[in-house]
Amino acid sequence: MKKVLGLALGILTAIGGFVDIGDLVTNGVVGSRFGFGLAWSTLLGVVGICLFANMSGRVAAVSGRATFELIRERLGARVGLLNLVASFLINLMTLTAEIGGVALALMLASSVNYLLWVPVAALALWLVIWRVKFTVLENVTGLLGLCLIVFAVALFLLGPDWGEVVKQAVSPHLSQTESPATYWYYAVALFGAAMTPYEVFFFSSGAVEEKWSLKDLSQSRMNVLVGFPLGGLLSLAIAGCAAVFLMPKGIEVSSLSQLVLPVAAAGGKLAVAFVLVGLFAATFGAGLETTLSSGYTLAQFFGWSWGKFRSPARAARFHVSMMICLLVGIAVLMTGIDPVMVTEMSVVFSAAALPLTYFPILVVANDPDYMGQYVNSRLVNIAGQIFLVIVVAASLAAIPLMIITGAGK
Amino acid sequence: MAGSWTRWLVAAAAVVLLTPVAACASTAGFYDQLSTAAGEVASASGSAAEAIDLTAHGRLTSAVRDSAIADADQQSSTAAGTLDQLQANTTDRQASRRTTIDAVHRAQRSLQLADDAAANHDDQTLARLAPTLREQAKQLTDLQDEWASR
């Protein structure tokens, strides 16, 4: 019974923890501009993250070490450094976006300007990381993030023509005001949002924090293969609400407040309360994950003592680096830069750096010195290589498309 | 060797820093910019009107409504500012362009009034403004389509 409950908890937290500010914003924007015409990109990203998160979870469970640590050891300091620079900068950008997301969610609940909430949000993130146990912070934010299921409920209450939904998803049609370049720009952004690099670093480091071993492999697999696709459905529901309610009214999502309108129209104030809790939990949870991921990547590259299972005094550099990252996030947001714009940039840069994250994982997962008999199967390798081709194509297209479209304008 | 890595890192950092600047600076044609600005303000007016109506019907909290109106006001000010700069840089004063720019400014003023009313919790003024905002959103959407088709 305990094992079943543990499995259910793992899956539920994986669903609730799947959506972050990048998914919220990008799916909202895409739904309001392209309807269901880019659902395929989200689905593709979900398959990719399942494939590689499962791989990195297996690496951590078998070797007892985090993916990033092994990448540096297996591929050498130079490749490790390149991976570190790209992952760390994108992670920092994502962390900044998540702090902004927490502040925006608090603004929606309170009407107090988000800039006043930014330091409060960052302080709360630091306090939780400093004081709260890893499993507690992961489970509480993941479970509260399940409140975002209200988007799926709202989509059903809005009563879309499901035949039309399938038609839009299967044969996308561009409106007069959209160009093929913006369509592909947002396809890459959605893919990048679903496959954000911090997710695999957090997943594998989390496995070490929770001391996973071979007997936890099946739970890891279930968390990824059941929890992430259901989380992906949440992303589709967010896009769906925007497509059904906002798109016909000509409202393009450019702020979190607009994301709430379809939910309010469908379910009233109770649904709004759920969505506000969900937005806060999703961004706060992702804020914790990105803060920890910043510390994990730096500590694992430089060989510092790391982990929340150690007291802060025994992992001082790990904790100091996270504090500095939070301060950088506050400083960037205090310039008045739009957090939604930071989010849009972060998902596109994520897409651009994807090969640097995912290629080394594929290499390590195939190394018998680390994995023994648990190296990738032939089928997983074929899927991994196909995805690497897609990831490289998205990576090469991301920045030129950003410039051509003026960041999707 | 270390020097070459430093160069690569500096180049990567330059790409990261300069890409957003290049993306923002990449200018579309004049018609596209008119269409984009009209679309942004139409979207802002539409979402503010929707938030006011949903709150009036008891489906949305006033805190979310106020945030939605403030966001819309901010978005329209940015779009109108871009348009003003564009207009200042051209000697052409065609009437059709003037119509779009005037419509954008009218909607922007309405959104400013709505933002002030929301800050003062003046529900009556907001209720009066909602139909105006909706009408302005429709007019701007038509203008957006018109410019996009040219």
pLDDT digits (tens, 9 = 90+) for A336-377: 998 988 988 888 988 888 898 888 889 999 999 889 899 999
Establish if B100 touches chain A: CB-CB under 8 angstroms. no
| Maximum average pLDDT range among A189-203, A263-277, B30-44 | A263-277
Fold exhibited by the domain A2-404: Hydantoin permease (1.10.4160)
CA separation for the pair B141, B136 (Å, rounded)? 8
State residue B70's pLDDT score: 93
Cα(B133)–Cα(B125) distance, rounded to whole angstroms? 12
- Beta-carbon count within 10 A of B102 CB: 10
Structure tokens at A186: 């947002």
Average pLDDT over residues A111-119: 93
Q: Do residues A98 and A350 make contact, with C-beta atoms less than 8 angstroms apart?
A: no
- Provide the percentage of residues in chain A whose pLDDT is more than 90: 56
Any domain includes B109: yes
- For chain A, the average pLDDT equals 90
- Residues A17-52: pLDDT tens digits? 788 888 999 999 999 999 999 999 999 999 999 999
Q: Which residue of A has its CA nearest to B22?
A: A403
pLDDT of residue A181: 92
- Print burial letters for A163-178: b (CB count within 10 Å at least 16), e (below 16): eebeebbeebeeeebb
d(CA A377, CA A383): 10
| Beta carbons of B60 and A399 less than 8 Å apart | no
pLDDT at A2 over 80: no
Cα(A341)–Cα(A334) distance, integer angstroms: 14
Domain count, chain B: 1
Pick from A406, A110, A105: which is nearest to A284 by CA?
A105
Angle at A265 between CA A20 and CA B133, to 5 degrees: 100
- On whether residue B6 sits in a domain, the answer given is no
Distance CA A135, CA A244 (A): 37
Domain span at residue B122 reads 30-149
pTM over 0.80: yes
Cα distance from A121 to chain B (closest Cα, Å)? 18
A249, B50: Cβ pair inside 8 Å?
A: yes
pLDDT of res. B6? 66
In this complex, the residue of B5, B40, B63 whose CB is nearest that of residue A111 is: B63
**% of chain A with per-residue pLDDT over 70:** 99
B40–A258 CB contact, under 8 Å:
no
What are the phi and psi torsion angles at B88 (to 5°)? -65, -30
- Chain B positions touching A261 (Cβ under 8 A) are 47, 50-51, 54, 60, 68
Nearest chain A residue to B24 by CA: give it: A406
Ordered mean pLDDT values, 10 residues apiece, chain B (150 residues): 63 69 63 85 95 95 93 91 74 70 92 94 93 94 84
Contact at 8 Å (CB) between A226 and A10? no
Q: Give A217: exposed, middle or buried? Use CB within 10 Å, 0-12, 13-18, 19+.
A: middle
Task: Find which of B60, B83, B146 to mutate to test the A interface (most A CBs within 10 Å of its CB).
Answer: B60
Q: Which CATH number does the domain housing residue B46 bear?
A: 1.20.120
Rounded to 5 degrees, what are φ and ψ at A335? -70, -10
Asked if A181 is an interface residue toward chain B (Cβ–Cβ < 8 A), one would say: no
pLDDT at A1: 67
Cβ contact (<8 Å) for B26 and A78?
A: no
Are the C-beta atoms of residues A196 and A48 closer than 8 Å to each other? no
Question: Nearest-CA neighbor of A177 among B40, B50, B25?
Answer: B40
**For residue A50, what pLDDT is reported?**
93
Q: Which residues lie below 8 Å from residue B68, measured CB to CB, with a gap of 6+?
A: A255, A257, A258, A260, A261, B47, B48, B50, B51
pLDDT digits (tens, 9 = 90+) for A56-76: 889 989 988 888 888 888 888
Query: Is the confidence at residue A224, as pLDDT, over 60?
Result: yes
Neighbours of B124 (CB within 10 A): 8
What six digits make up the tokens of B64?
């979310």
Phi, psi (degrees; rounded to nearest 5) at A353: -100, 5
Span A85-97, average pLDDT: 91
CA–CA distance, A332 with A99 (Å, rounded to integer):
10
pLDDT class for A305, splitting at 50, 70, 90?
Answer: very high
Q: What pLDDT was estimated at residue A179?
A: 87
Question: Which of B50, B82, B133, B139 is most worth mutating to test chain A (most A CB atoms within 10 A of its CB)?
Answer: B50
CA–CA distance, A356 with A326 (Å, rounded to integer): 24
